[in-house]
């Protein structure tokens, strides 16, 4: 054999053999170093085309990564292919688990982080391992290194075009190890791709935590059946101290269907990093045994640094994309994507373990939507539509197709203390390929930069050419104060619920944002919207609420005259309180000119157009608002009443039904329905609708209308009893005189 190696190596001893090769330690005479020589078994060598094997292994030879044992050379000895690689001083993961049993969680996470980083690097370059197992993961110098990269793939590729040879089935290792084979490998699916490594990654993680393989002790045939049919016990039941995030990651990796697993090793890496940060909020030191050092080696996890702020992989590769070829099963960089003209930003998932941070994940989602909506060539699905998928167990690609967009963005957010991790990725809804992915690991104060960076990267990836003005709009910051921004997001989170108590919470949050940053224009606009809605529903005295709304909107415009939301807020006050029709019309026109995609401005403009008698234009304005925000409950609700004002009664009733279908629990649609039914003389039905509204809003909306309907339907005693209720309510909170007037009108009591 030494002669076949050209005299460059001296064989010193045999280390043993695995399923595919015999392994020797040799001395590299030229460079005076120890190397490993792996010689394929004779049976396997006879079953493969050596020339093709050597061509295939060249792919693996190009891998350069700190967690991959590199390939030094390859050749042929007496018809048997061989490989050389450095001798790694350390132990295999198999030896570590055999000796120690279940490993400490921090060690498991760090090992998985290294393995995921190596897989990500290889998959991006079209190299799939196909035989990830503890024997092929080596521990040395505090790192986990994957060895034998590309060997199993090269063997199967070199054998694909040969006639069936018993060597392949007798060894059984050419396509992987039964205990770590994905279901698609077991059935020899020609479409096997990089996700077989992700499945094996999950099994390795499970074994490190449990100390044993989930299907240990079974024959090869029984193991094959288990891989296809059985789900292992949840790792948390076997190892109760497993972090929830880590248990979830392993469970997803072990999905039987490839499409249900994480779709890239990058996601594995990001998840491992997230678990690592969750479990080590300060600098921590974990002990990992390194036999070469004669004991334990300290693995230190440093605090976030600039080098990790935007890491796509540990080797520093950024903005790489991954696409799979169904014909070869390889991962390769996609061709330059065609311009995409429609996009959905799905609600970012809060992974902080604290529901109180939902406002933050929701706020980042909404902020990115708002920034990208300013790009004229791009249709961005509005907030009300995408947020219907919040918390739903739905396939993002299916959601994207339902929304009829070409691409979609998903993301996850972790926030604890000053640590902020946001990871986002964009995928093509048609091809399933990832277009972009990134992780941002920043202090919380950098949350603005993260949102800007995500919007920038998405626009670049979509090949959208932005003018300098559009770039400024995307990168525009309303505040530099992260505490103010956090309060503002909480305010919008509560305001979007549009019920009385959340509106009062929104008031407090917006005011807190202004206290933190008195120059925060959009916080004043949010405060104006809150006062305006409270006044509109008479939840507060209109003579108190609306002037406050006007003052807040005016202050916002003093700070930023180009703020569309503030112009719309001011128009609302002029329309519903001042009765300044011309002033309201100008304000709405200005808001729409500044931000044509602001659906609320179109909605409020529609009411102005109705009031001044421009009915057809009003209907068109409502329709434009619905085009921009088709699932907005409040816009759908108001459109129904607008149709009624236009005399289109049947259309109005149908619109009420559509709104109710969007959200059966939404109480305000019952208010609109009651008004329409009352106008049509269908008093009994109006009573039912109004009562649902009153019950659904805890009496905040519709009390007077219910009394009116009771009187009109002839239930005078109930109507008079209702008057008593109104007086009781008025004794504890503000109640509009209109509520009393409507009830008396229903009783035909003009006095």
Measured between alpha carbons, how far is 607 from 649 in angstroms, rounded to an integer?
17
For 27, the 3-state DSSP assignment is: strand
For 488, the 3-state DSSP assignment is: helix
Backbone φ, ψ for residue 376 (5° rounding): -60, -35
Is residue 75 exposed (0-12), middle (13-18) or buried (19+ Cβ within 10 Å)?
middle
Q: What is the CA radius of gyration of the chain?
A: 33
- For residue 210, CA distances in Å to 97, 98, 203, 236 come to 10, 12, 10, 9
Beta strand ranges found along 612-657 (DSSP E):
none
Measured between alpha carbons, how far is 524 from 528 in angstroms, rounded to an integer?
6
Q: Which of 573, 641, 540, 268 is nearest to 423 (CA)?
A: 268
Measured between alpha carbons, how far is 344 from 331 in angstroms, rounded to an integer?
25
Contacts of 503 (CB under 8 A, 6+ apart): 494, 495, 497, 530, 533, 534, 539
Residues 104, 284 contacting (CB under 8 angstroms): no
DSSP 562: T
- For residue 532, CA distances in Å to 140, 485, 548, 679, 699 come to 65, 22, 8, 27, 19
Sheet holding 143-146, edge to edge: 91-92, 137-140, 143-146
Residues 245, 278 contacting (CB under 8 angstroms): yes
Beta strands 407-416 and 342-345, pairing class = parallel
Taking residue 252's Cβ as centre, other Cβ atoms within 10 Å add up to 16
Residues 101, 54 contacting (CB under 8 angstroms): no
Which residue(s) pair with 721 in the sheet? none
Q: Which of 156, 189, 208 is nearest to 49 (CA)?
A: 156
Tokens of 541: 């005295």
DSSP 68: B
Mark out the alpha helices in 344-437 (DSSP H runs): 358-372, 383-386, 396-402
Residues 707, 726 contacting (CB under 8 angstroms): yes
Measured between alpha carbons, how far is 500 from 495 in angstroms, rounded to an integer?
9
Measured between alpha carbons, how far is 568 from 536 in angstroms, rounded to an integer?
15
Beta strands 21-28 and 33-40, pairing class = antiparallel
Dihedral angle sign, alpha carbons of residues 62, 67, 72, 73: negative
Query: Is 131 a catalytic site residue?
Result: yes
DSSP 242: S
Residues 718, 710 contacting (CB under 8 angstroms): yes
The residue annotated as part of the active site, out of 131, 148, 362, 428, is: 131
Q: Which of 546, 616, 558 is nearest to 584 (CA)?
A: 546
Measured between alpha carbons, how far is 315 from 166 in angstroms, rounded to an integer?
41
Measured between alpha carbons, how far is 208 from 275 in angstroms, rounded to an integer?
15
Tokens of 696: 């659904």
Measured between alpha carbons, how far is 169 from 165 in angstroms, rounded to an integer?
8
Measured between alpha carbons, how far is 57 from 150 in angstroms, rounded to an integer?
6
Measured between alpha carbons, how far is 413 from 420 in angstroms, rounded to an integer?
7
Give the 3-state secondary structure percentages of the chain, helix then strand then coil, rounded to 5. 55, 15, 30
**Active site amino acids:** 131
């Amino acid at each position: 054999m030494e002669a076949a190696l050209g005299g460059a190596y001296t064989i010193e001893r045999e280390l043993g053999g695995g399923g595919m090769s015999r392994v020797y330690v040799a001395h590299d005479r030229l460079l005076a170093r120890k190397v490993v020589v792996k010689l394929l078994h004779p049976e396997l060598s006879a079953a493969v085309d050596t020339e093709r094997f050597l061509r295939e292994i060249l792919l693996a030879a190009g891998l350069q990564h700190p967690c991959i044992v590199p390939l030094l050379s390859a050749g042929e000895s007496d018809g048997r292919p061989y490989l050389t690689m450095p001798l790694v001083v350390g132990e295999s993961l198999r030896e570590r688990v055999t000796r120690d049993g279940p490993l400490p969680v921090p060690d498991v996470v760090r090992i998985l982080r290294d393995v995921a980083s190596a897989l990500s690097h290889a998959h991006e370059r079209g190299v799939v391992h196909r035989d990830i197992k503890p024997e092929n993961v080596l521990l040395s110098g505090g790192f986990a290194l994957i060895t034998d990269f590309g060997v199993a793939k090269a063997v199967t590729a070199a054998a694909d075009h040969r006639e069936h040879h018993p060597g392949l089935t007798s060894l059984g290792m050419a396509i992987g190890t039964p205990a770590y084979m994905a279901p698609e490998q077991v059935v020899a699916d020609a479409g096997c791709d990089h996700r077989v490594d992700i499945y094996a990654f999950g099994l390795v993680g499970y074994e490190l935590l449990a100390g044993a393989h989930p299907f240990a002790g079974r024959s090869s045939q029984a193991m094959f059946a288990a891989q296809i049919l059985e789900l292992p016990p949840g790792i948390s039941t076997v190892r109760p101290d497993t972090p929830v995030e880590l248990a979830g990651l392993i469970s997803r990796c072990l999905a039987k269907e490839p499409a249900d697993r994480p779709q890239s090793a990058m996601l594995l890496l990001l998840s491992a990093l997230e678990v690592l940060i969750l479990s080590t909020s300060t600098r921590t030191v974990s002990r990992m045994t390194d036999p070469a050092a004669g004991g334990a080696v300290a693995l230190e996890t440093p605090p976030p640094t600039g080098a990790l702020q935007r890491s796509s992989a540990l080797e520093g590769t950024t903005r790489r994309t991954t696409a799979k070829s169904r014909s070869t099963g390889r991962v390769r960089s996609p061709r330059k994507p065609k311009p995409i003209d429609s996009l959905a930003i799905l609600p970012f998932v809060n992974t902080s373990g604290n529901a109180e941070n939902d406002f933050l994940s929701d706020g980042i989602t909404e902020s990115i939507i708002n920034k990208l909506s300013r790009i004229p060539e791009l249709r961005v699905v509005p907030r009300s539509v995408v947020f219907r998928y919040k918390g739903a167990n739905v396939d993002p690609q299916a959601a994207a197709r339902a929304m009829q967009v070409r691409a979609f963005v998903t993301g996850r957010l972790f926030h604890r203390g000053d640590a902020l991790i946001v990871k986002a990725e964009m995928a093509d809804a048609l091809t399933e390929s990832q277009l972009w992915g990134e992780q941002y690991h920043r202090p919380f104060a950098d949350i603005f930069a993260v949102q800007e960076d995500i919007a920038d990267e998405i626009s670049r990836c979509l090949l959208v050419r932005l003018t300098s003005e559009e770039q400024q709009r995307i990168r525009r910051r309303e505040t530099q104060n992260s505490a103010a921004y956090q309060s503002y997001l909480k305010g919008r989170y509560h305001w979007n619920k549009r019920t009385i108590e959340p509106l009062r919470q929104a008031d407090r949050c917006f005011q807190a944002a202004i206290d933190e940053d008195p120059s925060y224009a959009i916080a004043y606009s949010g405060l104006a919207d809150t006062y305006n809605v409270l006044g509109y529903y008479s939840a507060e005295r209109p003579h108190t609420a609306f002037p406050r709304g006007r003052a807040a909107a005016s202050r916002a415009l003093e700070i930023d005259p180009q703020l569309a939301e503030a112009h719309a807020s001011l128009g609302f006050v002029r329309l519903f309180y001042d009765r300044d029709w011309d002033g309201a019309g100008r304000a709405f026109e200005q808001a729409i000119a500044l931000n044509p995609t602001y659906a609320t401005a179109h909605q409020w403009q529609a009411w102005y157009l109705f009031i001044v008698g421009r009915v057809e234009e009003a209907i068109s304005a409502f329709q434009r608002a619905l085009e921009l925000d088709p699932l907005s409950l409040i816009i759908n609700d108001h459109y129904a009443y607008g149709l009624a004002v236009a005399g289109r009664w049947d259309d109005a009733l149908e619109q009420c039904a559509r709104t109710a279908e969007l959200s059966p629990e939404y109480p305000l649609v019952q208010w609109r329905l009651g008004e329409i039914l009352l106008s049509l003389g269908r008093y009994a039905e109006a009573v039912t609708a109004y009562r649902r509204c009153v019950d659904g809003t805890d009496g905040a909306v519709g009390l007077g209308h219910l009394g009116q309907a009771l009187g009109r339907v002839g239930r005078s005693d109930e109507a008079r009893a209702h008057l008593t209720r109104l007086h009781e309510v008025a004794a504890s909170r503000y109640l509009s005189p209109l509520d009393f007037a409507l009830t008396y009108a229903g009783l035909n009591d003009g006095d």
